[in-house]
C-alpha cells in the first residue's frame, strides 16, 4: 500500500503508541526492582552487594530478560527516529515516558502482588503480562522508500548472481564439477588398483542401461554438490565482507570525539545514576525512616518525575535555539550534584525531594537518542545506538553491586553515593570538554533542508 505523506505523522503515531506500551511492559518491572530488592534481602539473607547483582542483571546485561529488553528498546527508538524528523524530540519523549509510567505503576502493583501471591507469584504474573509486547510488535512497520523495490527472499539459485561482487577470480559450478569428476575418477582408479594389484585402466563407456542410469544419478549428485559448494563459498565470503565493513564503520564512529565521549558518559551515568531506583527504599530503611512516614514509595516518585522529565526535555529538544548536547550535559552535572546530596538526607521529605530531582533528570533518556542522531546521523543511528546501549547495560549491571559492596564495607551509603555522584559528574565534564569548540565539530547544528513530501511504502510483516 503506497501512502503519499510526510514522515512526521501518519502511521508514525501508531508507532509512538505501541512503542510507549512496549517500554511500559518491558521496563516497568525491571526499573521498579527496588521493591523486589528488599524482599530478596530478606529471602536470601545475603549481603547488599551480592543481592544487588540480581536487580542489576535484570536491568543490565547477562540475562535472557535483559537481552530482550535491550533489543526492544533499540528497536522502538530506531523506528521512531525513522518516522519523525521535526517532531523527533516530542515523539521520543512520548515513547520514553512508557518506562517511567511503568515504574510508577509497577512499584505499587508489585507490592500488592507480593502481599497476595508471594514473591514467586508476583514474578509469574508480571512475566505473563509482558507477553502483550508481542501484540505491540505486530503493529510496527519499517519504512521502505517506494523508489527502490522491496527486497526479495534470496533463493539458492539466485545467490551466485547476487554475490558476484568480488574482484578475485571465482570458480564457477562447472569448474567445481570438473574437480569432483577428477576426484571420483581418482577414487575409482584407487579402488581398482587396490582390488587387482594392477594399474588402473582407462574408463570405458558404459554399455549397460543400469550402469548408464547410475551414471546419470551420479552426475546429478555431482551437480548438486557443486552448486551447494559454490553457494556456501559465496555466502561465507559475503558474511566476511559484512563483518569487515562493520568493523570499519565501528572504528570510524570512535574517531568522532563526541561519540567517544558519549559512550564514556553513558557508562559512568549508568554506573552512578541507576542505583537510586534500585536502592532508594533500602536507603530510607537504613536512615531509620518510619513506615508511617511514607506517603508514597520513593521509587514511585522517581518514576512519575522521570515521565515528566522525559516529556519536558523531549519538547525542549525540538526548539531550534537549544543545543541538545549541552542540555544533556547540564542534566548529567546536575544529577551528579544531587547524588552527592543523598547522604545528607535523613528524613522522608528530603529523600522524596531528591528522588523527584533525580527522577526528573533521569528523563534525559528521552533526548539521548536525539543527541546520538545529531552526533552520527540518522543513517548510522542503529549501529551507534546499539554500541551505546551495550555500555549502558554494562553500567546498569555494575552500578548497584558496587554501591552494595560500599555499604557492606562501611555499613553506610554515604561513600557509595559520593562515588555515584562523582561518576556522573565526571561523565558530564568529559562530554562537555568534547563538545566545546574546537573539540566538538559535531555539535554544530546542520542547516535543515526545505520540507519535502516523500513517497513511502509500508512493508508487511508477512
**pLDDT tens digit sequence for 303-327:** 888 888 988 998 888 888 888 899 9
Classify 322 as helix, strand or coil. coil
Cα angle at 277 between 272 and 278, to 5 degrees? 90
- Averaged pLDDT of the chain: 75
Q: What percent of the chain has pLDDT over 70?
A: 73
User: The dihedral of CA 424, 425, 430, 436: what is its sign?
Assistant: positive
Q: How confident is the model at residue 454 (pLDDT cuts 50, 70, 90)?
A: very low
Express each pLDDT in 376-414 by its tens digit.
887 888 788 888 888 887 888 788 888 888 888 888 888
Residues 403 and 275 sit within 8 Å (Cβ to Cβ): yes
**Strand-pair partners of 4:** 455
Query: Is residue 135 classed as helix, strand or coil in its secondary structure?
Result: helix
The arithmetic mean of pLDDT across residues 364-381, rounded, is 85
pLDDT at 338 over 60: yes
Q: How far is CA 22 from CA 159, 350, 396, in A?
A: 37, 33, 20
- Which whole number is the average pLDDT over 199-225? 62
> For residue 168, what is its C-alpha cell?
578475485
Mean pLDDT of the 167-179 span: 49
Listed range (36-50, 236-250, 353-367) with the worst mean pLDDT = 36-50
**Choice between 432 and 199, residue whose per-residue pLDDT is larger:** 432
State the Cα–Cα distance between residues 420 and 273, nearest whole angstrom.
Answer: 7
Percentage of the chain beyond pLDDT 90 is 13
Q: Is the torsion defined by CA of 332, 333, 337, 338 positive or negative? A: negative
Q: Which long-range contacts (CB under 8 A, 24 or more apart) does 292-297 make?
A: 293/347, 293/348, 294/348, 295/348, 295/352, 296/352, 297/35, 297/107, 297/108, 297/111
Cβ partners under 8 Å of residue 30, min gap 6: 55, 58, 59, 65, 66, 69
Average pLDDT for 239-249: 84
* Res. 149: pLDDT tops 60: no
The C-alpha atoms of residue 428 and residue 265 are separated, in whole angstroms, by 6
Tell me which of 147-151, 251-255, 324-328 is least confident.
147-151
**What's the Cα-to-Cα distance from 390 to each of 13, 269, 401, rounded to whole Å?**
28, 13, 18
Q: What pLDDT is stored for residue 191 in this prediction?
A: 47
Q: How confident is the model at residue 217 (pLDDT cuts 50, 70, 90)?
A: low
Amino acid at each position: 500500500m503506497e501512502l503519499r505523506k510526510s514522515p512526521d505523522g501518519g502511521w508514525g503515531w501508531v508507532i509512538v503508541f505501541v512503542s510507549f506500551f512496549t517500554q511500559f511492559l518491558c521496563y516497568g518491572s525491571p526499573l521498579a526492582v527496588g521493591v523486589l530488592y528488599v524482599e530478596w534481602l530478606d529471602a536470601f539473607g545475603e549481603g547488599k552487594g551480592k543481592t544487588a547483582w540480581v536487580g542489576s542483571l535484570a536491568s543490565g546485561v547477562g540475562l535472557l530478560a535483559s537481552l530482550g529488553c535491550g533489543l526492544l528498546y533499540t528497536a522502538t527508538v530506531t523506528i521512531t527516529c525513522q518516522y519523525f524528523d521535526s517532531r523527533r524530540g516530542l515523539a521520543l519523549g512520548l515513547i520514553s515516558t512508557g518506562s517511567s509510567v511503568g515504574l510508577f505503576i509497577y512499584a505499587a502493583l508489585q507490592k500488592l502482588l507480593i502481599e497476595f501471591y508471594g514473591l514467586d507469584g508476583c514474578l509469574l504474573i508480571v512475566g505473563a503480562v509482558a507477553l502483550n509486547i508481542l501484540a505491540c510488535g505486530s503493529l510496527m512497520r519499517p519504512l521502505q522508500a517506494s523508489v527502490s523495490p522491496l527486497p526479495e527472499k534470496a533463493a539458492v539459485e539466485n545467490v551466485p548472481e547476487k554475490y558476484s561482487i568480488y574482484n578475485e577470480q571465482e570458480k564457477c559450478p562447472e569448474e567445481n564439477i570438473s574437480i569432483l569428476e577428477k576426484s571420483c575418477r581418482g577414487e575409482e582408479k584407487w579402488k581398482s588398483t587396490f582390488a587387482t594389484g594392477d594399474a588402473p585402466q582407462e574408463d570405458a563407456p558404459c554399455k549397460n542401461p543400469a550402469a548408464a542410469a547410475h551414471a546419470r544419478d551420479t552426475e546429478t549428485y555431482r551437480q548438486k554438490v557443486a552448486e551447494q559448494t559454490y553457494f556456501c563459498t559465496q555466502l561465507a565470503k559475503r558474511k566476511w565482507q559484512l563483518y569487515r565493513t562493520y568493523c570499519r564503520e565501528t572504528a570510524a564512529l570512535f574517531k568522532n570525539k563526541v561519540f567517544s565521549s558519549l559512550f564514556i558518559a553513558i557508562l559512568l551515568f549508568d554506573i552512578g545514576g541507576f542505583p537510586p531506583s534500585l536502592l532508594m527504599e533500602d536507603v530510607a530503611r537504613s536512615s531509620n525512616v518510619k513506615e508511617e512516614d511514607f506517603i508514597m514509595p520513593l521509587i514511585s516518585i522517581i518514576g512519575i518525575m522521570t515521565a515528566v522529565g522525559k516529556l519536558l526535555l523531549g519538547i525542549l529538544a525540538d526548539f531550534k535555539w537549544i543545543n541538545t548536547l549541552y542540555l544533556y550535559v547540564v542534566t548529567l552535572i546536575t544529577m551528579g550534584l544531587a547524588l552527592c546530596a543523598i547522604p545528607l538526607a535523613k528524613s522522608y521529605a528530603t529523600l522524596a525531594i531528591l528522588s523527584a530531582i533525580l527522577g526528573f533528570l533521569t528523563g534525559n533518556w528521552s533526548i539521548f537518542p536525539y543527541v546520538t542522531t545529531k552526533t552520527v546521523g540518522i543513517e548510522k543511528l542503529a549501529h551507534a545506538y546499539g554500541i551505546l546501549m551495550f555500555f549502558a547495560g554494562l553500567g546498569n549491571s555494575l552500578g548497584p553491586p558496587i554501591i552494595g559492596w560500599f555499604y557492606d564495607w562501611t555499613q553506610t551509603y554515604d561513600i557509595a553515593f559520593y562515588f555515584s555522584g562523582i561518576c556522573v559528574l565526571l561523565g558530564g565534564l568529559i562530554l562537555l570538554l568534547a563538545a566545546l569548540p574546537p573539540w566538538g565539530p559535531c555539535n554544530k547544528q546542520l542547516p535543515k533542508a526545505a520540507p519535502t513530501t516523500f513517497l513511502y511504502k509500508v512493508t508487511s510483516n508477512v
